Amino acid sequence: MTIGIVRKIAKTLLGKATKILPVKKVGPKYPLAFSTWGDEELEAIQRVIDTDMYTMGKHVKQFEQEFADKFGSPHAVMVNSGSSANLLMLSLLKWKYKLKGDIIVPVVGWATTYFPVTQNGFRLNFVDVDPNTWNIDVTKIRDAITPETCAIMPVNLLGNSCDYTEIKKICEEHDLKLIEDNCESMGAVYQGKHTGTIGLAGSFSFFFSHHIQTMEGGMVLCQDKDDADYMRSLRAHGWVRDLPADSHLYKKTGNAFDDNFIFATPGYNVRPLEMSGAIGSVQLKKWPGIEQRRIDNAKYFVELFHEKPFLRIQQIIGESSWFTFGIVLDGELKGRRAEIVKALDEAGIQNRPLASRNFLKQPVMRDLDYIASGEMTAADDIHDNGFFVGNGSEDIRKNIKELYSIIRSFCKIKEPRGLGNVKRMLIGK
Ligand SMILES: Cc1ncc(COP(=O)(O)O)c(C=O)c1O
């Protein structure tokens, strides 16, 4: 009996009983991340199971097209994580563009913002972040540029765009390539353009805590068809079989025996699973609702938390997609993070350090090739006084209010009159 027949019999006998249903977990009262899944995602997985084809195929292709259309980009290449998306962008700069030298990055980002830079033979060139936006401080980039600088890789932190007017100006003046680590900022907009589509290429993550969730998953959006073809080859062993017939990277002969085993780039295997592609299409349809809920939570967060003498929140440029809610303790609460974190833990409010903090302080730095220009004052403040709590697709305004009350209870100086003493702040959308 073949495996196919055994499967068919098992399916007939067990039918729907074989379907695995998710168990709703009891977690913290206010978690860092919220599931955006429902029955539709399970049905999408089932559709892939029904085809018995689990490796990258038509569902991934369809999701790529939908994602590119949604964010106004001509090309999308899906991969198995946001980290892999960064890896492909950096390998594109190294192998296709033949760049060498150093790449300017903000000193607050994510570990796998930085590692692909090193892994591709570039030197990290760290610049401090802006004390208000927590994104790369554009006033410090020019001083950091060296004769070897070849690119800038800003990170759009926590759903918030960088100042791309200034960054693009600097890139033009110094002939630098621009790639965006946009893994935290799907849906953010800068001057009418989605972040992740502003430079040569931009990365996205679909990990559980992110804006949409495909189990693991990531995407690169890029402007140029040849770049997309190159990354499609890098994504899968360096082979050319996923390239279109009109690719400049390799002209297919039509003979599958050859075409399927031609290796044209020094590739990896960072392909996504077909199930992730199918889930991605479902999640993308839900995105407007998810986004709106995140923004509504954010409006309330901003009302409560902005312009307080005892903390700072992120200053928004453009329209934020509100990945999470960052807080940097200030004034009378500066230096008291440990006590506050303990109180939040006790109240079931999950929290964590603000992104990578000052990455120069991480032990791995001893192994990385880098330069760092000037003081990292803003990053040090984030390192010592920053943390974030979750945002997501549920109404968490009650949790946000409790968060505020707990933090407020550590202040000696009392609130003038209740929580209603707020000025509205423009947060976009
Ligand atoms: C800025 C940034 N870059 C890259 C990544 C990596 O994404 P992934 O977890 O999908 O590998 C993350 C993950 O949170 C991130 O925040």
Give 367-418 pLDDT, tens digit per residue.
999 999 889 999 999 999 999 999 999 999 999 999 999 999 999 977 765 5
Q: Where are the beta strands (DSSP E) in 228-317?
A: 311-312
Q: Where are the beta strands (DSSP E) in 314-393?
A: 324-329, 370-372, 386-390
CA distance 321 to 379: 22
Is residue 425 very low, low, confident or very high in pLDDT (cuts 50, 70, 90)?
very low
Q: Mean pLDDT across the stretch 189-199?
A: 98
Is residue 336 very low, low, confident or very high in pLDDT (cuts 50, 70, 90)?
very high
Assign domain 286-408 to its CATH superfamily.
Aspartate Aminotransferase, domain 1 (3.90.1150.10)
CA of 206 relative to ligand 1 center, distance in Å: 9
**Which residue among 78, 79, 83 has the greatest number of ligand 1 atoms within 8 angstroms of its CB, and so is best to mutate?**
83
Give the atom of ligand 1 at the shortest distance from the alpha carbon of 155: 1
Q: Whose CA is nearest to atom 12 of ligand 1?
A: 183
CA of 215 relative to ligand 1 center, distance in Å: 13
- CATH 3.90.1150.10 range(s) for the chain read 286-408
- CATH 3.40.640.10 range(s) for the chain read 39-280
Q: List all residues 6 or more positions away from 232 whose beta carbon is below 8 Å from its beta carbon.
A: 77, 242, 243
> Which residue among 59, 210, 211, 383 is the active-site one?
210
The whole-model pTM stands at: 0.93
**Which residue among 108, 112, 119 has the greatest number of ligand 1 atoms within 8 angstroms of its CB, and so is best to mutate?**
112
CA 134 to chain centre: 15
pLDDT value, residue 147: 98
Q: List all residues 6 or more positions away from 410 whose beta carbon is below 8 Å from its beta carbon.
A: 310, 333, 336, 339, 340, 343
User: pLDDT tens for residues 64-117?
Assistant: 999 999 999 999 999 999 999 999 999 999 999 999 999 999 999 999 999 999
DSSP string, 323-339: -EEEEEE-GGGTT-HHH
CA distance 33 to 72: 27
pLDDT value, residue 414: 76
Q: Specify the amino acid at residue 296.
A: D
* Ligand 1 shell residues, CB under 6 Å: 81-83, 86, 109-110, 112-113, 155, 181, 183-184, 205, 207, 218
Q: Mean pLDDT across the stretch 318-328?
A: 97
pLDDT value, residue 413: 79
Q: What angle do CA 156, 70, 214 make, to 5 degrees?
A: 70
* Pairing relationship of beta strands 201-205 and 218-222 according to DSSP bridges: antiparallel
Q: Which of helix, strand or coil describes residue 113?
A: helix
pLDDT at 156 over 70: yes
Closest by Cα among 214, 185, 213 to 197 = 185
CA of 50 relative to ligand 1 center, distance in Å: 31
Query: Which of these ranges, 144-153, 197-206, 250-259, 353-362, has the smallest mean pLDDT?
Result: 250-259
CA of 274 relative to ligand 1 center, distance in Å: 21
pLDDT at 23 over 60: no
Class of domain 39-280: alpha beta
- What percentage of residues in the chain have a pLDDT greater than 70? 91
Q: What angle do CA 357, 359, 361 make, to 5 degrees?
A: 100
Q: Whose CA is nearest to atom 7 of ligand 1?
A: 82
Give the atom of ligand 1 at the shortest distance from the alpha carbon of 209: 14
Q: Are 181 and 135 in contact (CB under 8 A)?
A: no
pLDDT value, residue 398: 98
CA 295 to chain centre: 17
Is 210 labeled as catalytic in the residue annotation?
yes
CA of 245 relative to ligand 1 center, distance in Å: 33
